[in-house]
Structure formats: C-alpha cells, structure tokens
Amino acid sequence: MDAKDRQIIRALQRNGRMTNQDLAAEVNLSPSPCLRRLKLLEQSGAITGYSATVDAEAYGLPVTVFVRIILNGHTEAVVRQFEQEISRVERVLECFMMTGTSDYLLRVVVADLADYEVFVRKHLHPIGSIGSIDSSFVYGVVKQTHVFPQID
C-alpha cells in the first residue's frame, strides 16, 4: 500500500458516499486510475466494507459502557466459548483481547442503567466462564474518529 492508497482510504473514511469523480479529484488522480486503485483495495481486503456513522442517542442507545472481562480460566475451550458467545451479542459493538489485568475489553451500547443491568444478567452472566466484570460508563466524548492518521 502506498501513500496514494492511504489518501484514498482516508478520503473514504471521511465520506464513504463520495463519487469516484469526487474521490479522484480529492486525491489528485484521474477517475479511471482512482477506480482501479479502489477496486484493488477492496479486493485485497484493505477496505473491508462501507457503513453509515449513526448518532447513538438518536438511535435510542445513548449510553456507552466499556466493560473489562476477566475469565475464570484460559483453556482453549473456555476462550473459544466466551468468544463465540460474545460475538453473538448485538449490544457488544467491539470486543478486544487485551494484555494487562483484563482479558477482554468490550464496547457496549445501552439505553440506560436499567438496560445495562438487563444486558449483564441476560448476556454476560449466562456465559459462565466470566470471573469478573468491571464497567466504566462514558459521560462525555472528547474525540471520536474513524479516520486513520496519515503516515509517511
């Protein structure tokens, strides 16, 4: 991937609905080579898809919770079961395997505190291999972007 490919990706991260004509103009390419590069980025898997960025409050899930999970054990079966179960839970937007004191960090969206309690009781407790759940509620957002930084 070269600098021009990264320019294309950053432009699409800012506006995934731009036309190829507008994209080509923004990255200083003619439309045909720009489209060729875009198709190659998609085919290679560098661009994995397109989606809309939605306001969580307008959608009805205004509360973001970061949940740190520590498993009871770390056998292959325990880890596989946890990861399979958590991947099916729609309220979990992201699940990261972590170094440090927690095994996993989840980003969860809920309507309110009562909804979070239902989430924990209905989706986390039944997994069974969780030794500890530590939750932090987001009360403000300082910065949020989906655009990767420019690299040289």
Expressed as residue numbers, the domain containing 85 is 57-137
pLDDT at 128 over 90: no
Give the pLDDT of residue 68: 98
pLDDT in tens, 49-68: 999 999 999 999 999 999 99
Q: Do residue 98 and residue 120 come from a single domain?
A: yes
Number of independent structural domains in the chain = 2
Q: Do residue 125 and residue 83 come from a single domain?
A: yes
Number of C-beta neighbours around residue 127 at 10 A:
16
Confidence bin at 152 (pLDDT 50/70/90): confident
Q: Do residue 88 and residue 27 come from a single domain?
A: no
Burial of 131 (0-12, 13-18, 19+ CB in 10 A): exposed
Q: Do residue 63 and residue 100 come from a single domain?
A: yes
Q: Do residue 26 and residue 66 come from a single domain?
A: no
On average, the pLDDT of the chain sits at 96
Q: Is 85 contained in some domain?
A: yes
Taking residues 58-84, report their average pLDDT.
96
Q: Is 144 contained in some domain?
A: no
> In sequence order, which residues have a C-beta less than 8 Å from that of residue 115 and are 6 or more positions away?
63
- Please give the structure tokens belonging to residue 32: 């045909």
pLDDT in tens, 23-50: 999 999 999 999 999 999 999 999 999 9
Q: Is 145 contained in some domain?
A: no
Q: Is 19 contained in some domain?
A: yes
18-53: b (≥16 Cβ within 10 Å) or e: eeeeebbebbebeeeebeebbeebeeeeebeeeeee
pLDDT in tens, 91-126: 999 999 999 999 999 999 999 999 999 999 999 999
- This prediction has a pTM of 0.89
